[in-house]
Structure 1
Amino acid sequence: MKSTTLLRLSAALLPLAFAAPLFAQEATTGAGEVAEAEDAVDSQEIVVTGELYFRNRTLDANPVLSYDLEYFQRFEPVSVGEMLKRVPGVTFTSDVLEYDGVQMRGLPSGFTQVLINGRRPPGGESDRSFFVDRLPAELVERIEIVRAPRADQPSEGVAGTLNVVTKESASFDGGFLKGGVLMNEDGKLRPSGAIAYADGKGDTTLWGALNYQGRRNPKKKTTDFFDGEFAEYTGRELQDDTRDGTDISGNFEVTTKSDAGRLRINALVVDTDRDEDEVSTIFEGDSPADLDLDSVEIQRERISQQTYALAADGELAVGPGDLGAAFGWSGFRDKSRVSTEEGDDVDDVDLVERETLDIRDSEFTQTLYYAFGEDDARVRVKVGIDLLQKERDGTNRVFEIDGTDVSEETGPGAIFTIKEKRYDPYARVTFTASEAITIDGGLRYEITRRDTTSDDGTADYDAESLNPSLHLRWAPSEAGQFRASVARTVRRPDYDLISPYTQEEEPADEDDLVGNPGLANERAWGVDVGYEHRVGSNGIVGVNIFYRDVSNLIELVDTGEVASGGGNVYTPQNIGDGKTWGIEFDLSTSLAVAGLPDTGVFANYTYLDSDVTDPFTGLERRFNGQPHHVYNIGFIHNLRSAGVSFGASLSGRSRSLESQLDETVELRYGRDLEAFIEKRFADAFVVRLSAQNLLDRKKKEDFRFYDGDSVEDILEARAGNDVEESELESERSGALFQLTLRAAF
């Protein structure tokens, strides 16, 4: 382990920090009922348990699905991404055994808002998404799926919001130790370990946790090449892609309360070091049985990323209500190095290119609010303001290497700074008409000031957006509740589209693409209508219908100017509209009604559809990458007399299509089967063997490429289905096994 990594980790934990959730007002229990956050759960009830845990039944007026860590933990997920495989409507287009850019309701990852404890963590992706596979599952207390936001919650989740709530001192009592090892199909081992402890004295509680996770994913990919549409076979590429690294993480929290209010201070740090090595061997031939070695390419990527969060929040009784405030800082650091070697065979390669990426993200947030009216009052009013100040500095350099000659080929705008300020005042009113009916409405006014500077120009952008929301909760009985919501949400433009520089040979060889710092936010009106019902004493079944009408979609348009290569000049503009809709169903309950109280089943199914006009062809299609359906089904069974539990989960999705100017990609995945078996002993220990990808799931992609020197040429080829080249790509990774020992104290 690198000494610098340990120093970074220690330095980040010293100041305490990141605020526990102001975002979620209540905590929930595995039994499915709402509980006060200060009802701490003993560590043995979480680490060593023979109980069944189901989705929580929340009482929020807006549609929120809540899942405690215990819902996922027996399958031993390594990251938040692996946890999300089991929640409704969530999918990924990642490689096999990887779950990074979360796609709620099948929309591209930039439409999903990811929050940690109610605050948006900065990430390195140009579409502002955050890769959830970097968040260790050990830090999580629960995951909340917010289908539609309230006025006091950020409005950026067009597809929805994923809120990761980390463990906090008020909800946990005692400690635990974890030790484990992961084994891939090739027999290579990677260790993991964790320690956590929570305690309290008087009105003060504290929590601290450290986690070390080894990660490895050896993948093999086969690509067959064709002229025309899978007509004339021309060759094959065999690729070994191994991703190997470690995640070190920790969080710390201290809370103190008094009659006048409370103060909470918290810290979070995640440090990722990862090596990605790809060895591609390319063959030429007329058939898979007649191939000759053509060339070899080796790409080595070294990734070093850190996410930090420091914050404090508190509440003080002032006059007839409570005055609340929160302050925070979040940081993201990315230092990646990529080298490319080429040659006639593996033993004869030369370095031909080196690329460096350095990103520094910093965000300062402040929140101030005043709320009056007790939680059980007929009317409760909350007014406040959220402030954000963000700065991103990026440098992406490219060097071409020919022997001892090194030339820099860094493109214009590759060194840039983006500064963004946000001022978001809001007002929220909650009206409780009776125990059965709650109405929650409000307004959020988001003001954005953005400056973009690069070596190719400077530009600024100002925007204001009024985002209303209205939610109704009606519980006609103790077992059932209806929810209906209307809310307006926004999506901010990708960083690489607002940078004011010109990219040559984009989107086609003879064209230029000019960034547009004046791009407005994409905006959406959303409707959610759902019903959920308690099954037995603690199970739950729910159904939800959603609809999103998205305006100001960002598409590329022809400026009418002549490009440097003789083609056209294109720029992104807000011209499009799109719609998406679907039905979400989920069930988690025991089979007590069938005489099997120690067997729990869970299932979810989401049907998805959409309609958007392709910016180039003008034809109607679905959103890129959106499947028609996503599903998950599984069970857990407890053998109480033996102290043993076992279970399995099967998930899958339908195919999807992605359409760009000069190519279309059809994506298919096989089904994913995971299972576990555990043995509990001595009331404080549990040994668990879990496995993923037992069906050797494959990712398959069909590529069709259309050739042309200009956009007009390419569109003409597409209209005539004149496919220049095509590829069939298949990727596999094999099963992943994990042996874990946990102990509570």
Structure 2
Amino acid sequence: MQGTSTDEAQRRSSTASKIIIGREEIERYGDSTIGEVLKRLPGVTTGGRPGRGGEVRMRGMGSGYTQILVNGERMPPGFSLDELPPDQIERIEVMRAPTAEYGARAVAGTINVVLREALQRRLNEVRVALASENDQVRPHLSWTRNDKLDDKGSAYNFTVNAMQNRQQDDVNSRSVTLVPDTGAQTVLQTLGHTSNSRKSLNMTGRLQFRLEDGDTLALQPFVVVNSGRSFNQFDQTQTPEVEEGPDHFNFNHVDTNGDNHSVMARLNAQWTKRLSDVSRLEVRAGVGRMSMTTNAHRDEYEDAALTRTQDDQTKSRDTSWSFNGKYTHQLENEHNLVAGLEGEGTGRQQTRDCLQNGSRCDYLLDFGDDVDASTRRVAAYAQDEWSVGKLWGFYAGLRWEGIQTDSTATNYNVSNSSSVWTPLLHAVYKLDDKNREQIRASLTRSYRSPQLNDLIAKPSVNSQYPCLTVDCGTNAINYPDRMGNPALRPEMATGVELGWEKYLTKGGLLSANLFYRHISDLIRTVTALEDVSWSSDQRWVSKPRNIGSAQTYGVELEAKFRLDEYLEQALPVNIRSNLSLFHSEVQDIQGPNNKLDQQPRYTANLGADYRLRSLPLTLGGSMNYTPSNTIQQTTLTQVSSDKKRVFDLFAMWSFSPNTAMRVSATNLAPLSYGTGSVSVVPARYGTDGALLSPAKIITGESTGRSFTLWQVRLEMKI
């Protein structure tokens, strides 16, 4: 079987296109991160080096296009899905098109992670694991306790995970600056290594009370504690050598070390009131806080002589609250009406202390190291889901959402507000009475709001080209200063989905899904030469901007089946495969690679597992492939990334129904992974026509090895 009947039933019955990943699928390969679980789904890619997890993206679209929820709630800034161990997850819901209830900030789609639920049975699960990557050992301990509280249906669940993560990586980057008119060429080479370690403790729980008249009350605490350290060193050489020049050439060796500590705590409450046989009221509320402290120290040397030191300490505190009220009413004519009101607020207070050579890092102007920012969101929605006969199902929804963002620092106040209306339509047509084959269609509006850091106008001067005096000079296009843009507008997207699904008799599935998005007011980070307040010379500044419109479309193909369903004499091997093809165009940028950020041409997955009949042994493996990618990011800059090919294998021996040993290997036959860029810098002329700076071509590349992660895990149900 490819999944539980409940998972399959939820996917079938949903009017909007949805994929359900239950506990069986989450545990199948023994993955250590959610990213590793999600990478095998149709159209899902992850950032970073192969085998490392990373930022999750649907349809290959970059940061912000995929809405990430935990129990239907957005997490505070700085939270990563990889901080949630798979042991704590009950199921993962992947929605390809937005719905009114889950929100419309989902241009690419929505991933909702549902934490472990309290069930009416006693359960003690213990998992002890030891993993190794590049000779770095990673211990991991997990314990889940589930039991009933009384005979009325009340129950609790508690899960705790403790782990230590160690990583070592190479640093190998190269930057070449070429002046075409003269043929002069400068090569900057950086070689070194990094070492990182992180300890984390994750705790989730759920107290579920059965009240009178069928009412329920659930409390769900969620705590994440992290502590990490890093040590980095690299050597930098320049050919030909320049005796006098910008400050970033005044060192040839750098040592850095740092530590960070963070604590996130959140408490959610959910009360469900049964108003009648056909009406229900559900109220959810949550409060949370996340505190983080980061310390960093940097020493720069030239020929073994210390030339500059820098110390940074950043403290931030995020507070959040949320409220959600939902009313559901079932009509006699098969209409299911839902209306809701939502509120959400986050606030950030950040302080920074910076010292260079023992003195404050005041780059000409006091930009203000302290930032106070807040975001408030209010939404209202209504939706109707109904059936017409046994074959047709329809969904119509309308959602309004308004967002207000404010930030203050020493010398500026910024306020940004936006509101959007998003109509949503979904339909499903069943091609047979047994509900084994159906067609889906959707027409939706969705949007992507600017991130808080994108709106904050506080400049950050590049440390490689610091601005210590009024005449600090021009920096380089590949070492820009950075700042936010308070005038950003949200991106709006019109989307179309068309899908076909066929459910097989032995638990398999065949599906094909077509999608299209037209995006207006596209946000992209653009580096441009600008007049700035912190220098008398123009500086290269990188900041997000609305640059026009774009469109993307593609097809997602999926096949999950048992081999003996098609080959009569074959073993009952479970096969999982998918292929997703993508295309996009940004209209205001010249082709041929004028695609959306980070979107590859395609991604493919193939996996299989089989439980032997003669032995209590299960074997399985998978292959994930994403090709190399080149994107014309702006008219001046092109970026590229290498292909990713990840092989995973596992073997699980079941000593008894309650005890098993799992051995797994992630990223077998590892490949080196690199990124690159090419920037064309036009010549600069003075007001008198004199040449200030010749035209240049700057190429950069950074490569590093990836490694195989070996893991042994003992799983016990006590």
Q: TM-score, normalised by structure 2?
A: 0.86
User: Map of 1:543-622 to 2, 5 A cutoff?
Assistant: 543-554=512-523, 564-567=535-538, 573-593=545-565, 594=567, 595-613=569-587, 621-622=594-595
Q: Which residue does the alignment assign to 1:51?
A: none
Gap change, CA 1:83 and 1:303, over 3 Å in 2: farther
2:245 aligned partner: none
Q: Which amino acid aligns with 2:572?
A: D
1:190 is aligned with what amino acid?
R
Residues in 1 aligned to 2:436 and 2:64: alpha-carbon distance in whole angstroms: 36
Q: Secondary structure at the match of 1:82?
A: helix
Distance verdict in 2 for CA 1:711–1:423, change over 3 Å = farther
How many residues are aligned here? 677
User: Following superposition of structure 1 onto structure 2, how do residues 681-692 of structure 1 map, counting pairs within 5 Å?
Assistant: 681-692=655-666
Q: Determine which of 83, 93, 99 is the counterpart of 1:144.
A: 93
Give CA deviations for 1:476-520 in whole Å, capped at 9, x if unaligned: 122112111122112111323322445668997499877443422
User: Quick one: structure 1 residues 405 and 313, their matched pair in 2 at CA, closer, same or farther if it must change by over 3 Å?
Assistant: closer
Q: Which runs of 5+ in 2 are unaligned?
A: 241-249, 466-472
Matched ranges for 1:248-267 at <5 A? 248-257=201-210, 258-267=212-221
Q: Which amino acid aligns with 2:29?
A: F
Shift of 1:373: 0.6
Matched, 1:112 2:66: yes
Q: 1:527 aligns with which of 496, 499, 508?
A: 496
SS of residue matched to 1:493: coil
In structure 1, what is the Cα distance between the partners aligned to 2:683 and 2:481? 12
> CA 1:633–1:492 in structure 2 vs 1: closer, same or farther (change >3 Å)?
same
Aligned equivalents of 1:296, 1:254: Cα separation in 2 = 55
Q: Say whether the 8 Å CA contact 1:55–1:67 is kept in structure 2.
A: no
Q: State whether residues 520 and 574 of structure 1, in contact with CA within 8 Å, keep that contact through their aligned partners in structure 2.
A: yes
Superposed CA offset, 1:146-166 (max 9, x none):
111221112111111111111
Query: What pairs with 1:13-162 in structure 2 (closer than 5 Å)?
Result: 31-34=3-6, 57-124=11-78, 130-162=79-111
**Match in the other structure for 1:21:** none
Counterpart CA distance in 2 for 1:558 and 1:628 is: 28
What's the CA shift for 1:344? Answer: 4.7
Matched, 1:175 2:129: no
* Superposition deviation, residue 254 in structure 1: 1.3
Deviation at 1:368, TM superposition (A): 1.3
Counterpart in the other structure of 1:208:
158
Inter-CA distance 254–538: structure 2 relative to 1 (3 Å threshold): same
What is the identity, as a one-letter code, of the residue corresponding to 1:680?
A: S
Give the Cα–Cα distance (whole angstroms) in 2 for the partners of residues 558 and 423 of structure 1: 35
Select which of 639, 649, 659 maps to 1:675: 649
CA contact (8 A) 2:593 2:630 kept: no
Q: 1:465 to 1:75 in 2, by over 3 A?
A: same
Equivalent in the alignment of 2:145: 197
Residue in 1 that maps onto 2:615: 642
Cα shift readout 1:458-480 (whole Å, capped 9, x = no counterpart): 13233221111111111212211
Q: Which amino acid is the alignment partner of residue 301 of structure 2?
A: G
Q: Which moved more, 1:506-515 or 1:94-103?
A: 506-515
Any unmatched runs of 5+ in structure 1? 1-28, 36-53, 125-129, 287-292
Distance 2:9 2:54 in 1: 23
Residue 433 of structure 1, aligned match among 388, 395, 404: 388
1:338 matched to 2:296? The reply is yes
Q: Deviation at 1:229?
A: 9.7
TM-fit CA distance, 1:635: 0.9
Q: What residue in structure 2 maps to residue 274 of structure 1?
A: 228
8 A Cα contact 1:361 1:390, kept in partner = yes
Match of 2:195 in 1: 242
Instruction: For 2:222 and 2:300, locate their aligned partners in 1 and report how far apart those are by CA, in whole Å.
Output: 41
Cα separation, partners in 2 of 1:163 and 1:413, compared to 1, 3 Å: farther
The answer to whether the Cα contact below 8 Å between 1:343 and 1:349 also exists between their aligned partners in 2 is: yes
Of structures 1 and 2, the one scoring higher in RCO (CA 8 A, sep 6+) is: 1
Percent of aligned pairs sharing the same letter: 22
Residue aligning to 1:17: none
Return the alpha-carbon distance in structure 2 between the equivalents of residues 634 and 351 of structure 1.
52
**1:502–1:515 contact (8 Å) kept in structure 2:** yes
Sort the Cα spacing of 1:683 and 1:558 in 2 relative to 1 into closer, same or farther, 3 A.
Answer: closer
**Aligned equivalents of 1:310, 1:520: Cα separation in 2:** 32
Q: Of the candidates 407, 412, 421, which is equivalent to residue 466 of structure 1?
A: 421
Q: Does 1:310 align with 2:272?
A: no
| Alpha-carbon separation, structure 2, partners of 1:142 and 1:548 | 28
In structure 2, relative to structure 1, the CA distance for the partners of 1:414 and 1:482 (3 Å cut) is farther
Shift of 1:176: 0.8
The correspondence of residues 685-724 of structure 1 with structure 2, limited to 5 A, is: 685-707=659-681, 723-724=696-697
CA RMSD of aligned residues (A): 3.4
Change (3 A) 1:572 1:223: closer
Native 8 Å contact 2:186 2:238 kept in 1: no
Q: Alpha-carbon deviation of 1:558?
A: 8.9
Q: Which amino acid aligns with 2:599?
A: Q
Contact 1:557 1:573 in 2 (8 A): no
The yes-or-no answer on 1:448 pairing with 2:419 is no
1:657 to 630, 640, 643: 630
Q: Is the 8 A contact 1:117 1:166 kept in 2?
A: yes
Shifted more, 692-701 versus 219-228: the winner is 219-228
Give the TM-score, by structure 1 length.
0.83
Describe the superposition over 1:535-573 as per-residue Cα deviations: whole angstroms up to 9, x where unpaired.
Answer: 232111211111111112235699997865344898855
